[in-house]
Structure 1
Amino acid sequence: MDQNQPLKPRRPDDIPERRDYTPKGRVRRIYHDYRGTSIVMMLAVLVAAGLFVATSAWAVNERLTRRVTEMTYLKDTRSLEFVRQQEAERVARIAARERELAEKEEELAPRNTPYIVVSLAERRMLYLRGDDTLYRASVAVGSGKTLVMGGQTKRFVTPRGRMAITHKELDPVWVPPNWHYIEYARERGMGIRDMSNASPNALAGFPEGRVPVSGNTVIIPPWGSPQRQHKGVLGVAKLEMYDGYYFHGTDNPRSIGSAASHGCIRMHKEDILWMYRNVPVGTVVYIY
């Protein structure tokens, strides 16, 4: 080549490639040489990552569902256990209260002081001093029947609980409440006329101590009238307790031993007389 000949400019294709061997350059060259393969691999990686995320989310959801189910079950079980404990505590409180009441009753009825016990189930009266039985007798108790009057229902039962003898009387006179006349009329299919607030002399001429009847109508007699004073119905004696309940005799001795009264405690003549003579006012009575 002629050294004096001017140099021709090199074409880009004639310029040898200068390779960049830095890490960044190597990455660019790999991408340039394997561009198609890289895209496929990247897509595969992205798909695999998506599947992994979806699978992980499903697994987490399943674990969460199981955990919630377990928590719900445990909550229900604990709730049932809580209710069971509450009920056991309530029963224990009731039992403790009953023991406390029994102890108080023993204090109120010292062993050297006589007291009366009436069993409604056995229809029996016991007069006791400590463990000693001083007297026993069969009795009649409340029938349990009901009577509806004036929109109210009256049930004829002997009340349970603690009472005391407040008064004693020989040859007592019974002054019937209004329900006696209403019951009498209904048992016979008769009408009722209430004159309980009339003058005591309003029924002059009607028999004393008997239910006044006019035609097919039972008359409720005035308070204080002779027609409202019934002798012999309570027998020869009565021992009064609270709220109009008595131990008393009866004009129907065959009812003794049954549930037949309107709430009072009926006794045979000899038994109520013994009670009248031997049981002092103030004696405690336990009815159960």
Structure 2
Amino acid sequence: MKICKLFACALFYCVTVGNTYASTYTLPPTPGDTVITQYHDDVPLARANQDETLLDFARRFLLGQTEIVRLNQDLDRWHVKKGEIVRLSNKRILPNTPHEGITLNISEYRMYYYPAGQPGVVMSFAHGVGRQDWKTPLGKTSVARKVKDPAWHPPESIRREHAANGDPLPATVLPGPHNPLGAYALYLNLPGEYRIHGTDIDKIYGIGMQITHGCVRMYPEDIEELYKTVSVGTPVYLVKQPIKVGWLDNVLYIEAHPDLEGEEMTLDQRYAVALDLIQKANNNEIPDFDQTILNEALKKLDGDPVALFERLPPLEEVMPSAPDSLAAPLPVTLPPVKPAPAKPLPVKVKPVPVTKPAVAKLGKTAKLAKNQAIAVKPAKAKALATKSVTASVTAKKAKTKPTNTKAPAVKLTKAKTAVKPTSVKQVQNRKGSSGGYYHGS
């Protein structure tokens, strides 16, 4: 970040009081994100109220000495002038361990505690670790027991070392302000009496450094808070992760810390470690990240997470959700509806003129005209017409004496006997009264 931006932030966010700040973080809501943030400002700053040291700022804000020094490499750790701006830590990448119990990242000089029964919360504390010749062990263990106001029984090897330096130790150091274990101690389930404990007033500024004989040393208020909340049997993970990567809101960050004494890596070795972590974090694919930023982070080693790469958000995050008023209604099941009977479309039919029935002439026989019936095609109507005509003829036939039995000839008794038009009219009435139109069903 540019210097002008740093001082612009200082005008809006400056700390001049000596109160400590909470070290409780809320885990990111997005699954898979592992970057936590303490302050709303991207770069929180504090202004020196008087001439003091960076160690004073570290003590005030519960930061480690190495951490505060690496963040302010342009300042003299032993002389911060009144009015000068001091940069504080904000973002942190969670170590690659299960989100349970306690994680001690030795390379970072920092502890992460996931309180039982408080999902979505993590607490972070600065601590000191073992020196090069008294390394803090790595691996998984647990809290074996808790002791308040513990007495210290230094092992013979430590007593010999102190005696050689002109600082002999008694066989037992009783509880008190000068007890190196402080007021609280969590004993780990490891051989060799390894503990997470407080500190004496003489070594309180050594928090965040390689200074112990293998134990983990904390600020007095931090160990007190941890002691009250942690329970016996809590899992403890001791890891060494100087380089960490993690996601936050589809942005990939990298965080690089200085190497422990005696375990220095070359720049090429750091680059290889970082590249492997980036690939694993991105579904085993190397993204098109900013290599200039990566190289600068691996050289500077200030422990501040920097953004390397931004991926496209998932599709459901890109597509805005419809407002409630436009949301699709819930499906409603309606009872089945019986279809109405189809009505025939009206068809215009040209009326067929009705031909008057032919009148039989005088003679031996009288034949019916072929065009007596109405001109309609349906067989049922034709049969009905034929039946009506036949009935009419049969009625007349019964009144006369037939002279010839051959069908269909009929011998008439009167000359010029005509078939009455009413017979045809009756046929029409039986067909329908529509004037020759046929209505289908």
- The alignment's TM-score, normalised by the length of structure 1, stands at 0.43
In proportion to residue count, which structure has more helix? 1
Which protein, 1 or 2, shows the higher relative CO under an 8 Å CA cutoff with sep ≥ 6? Answer: 1
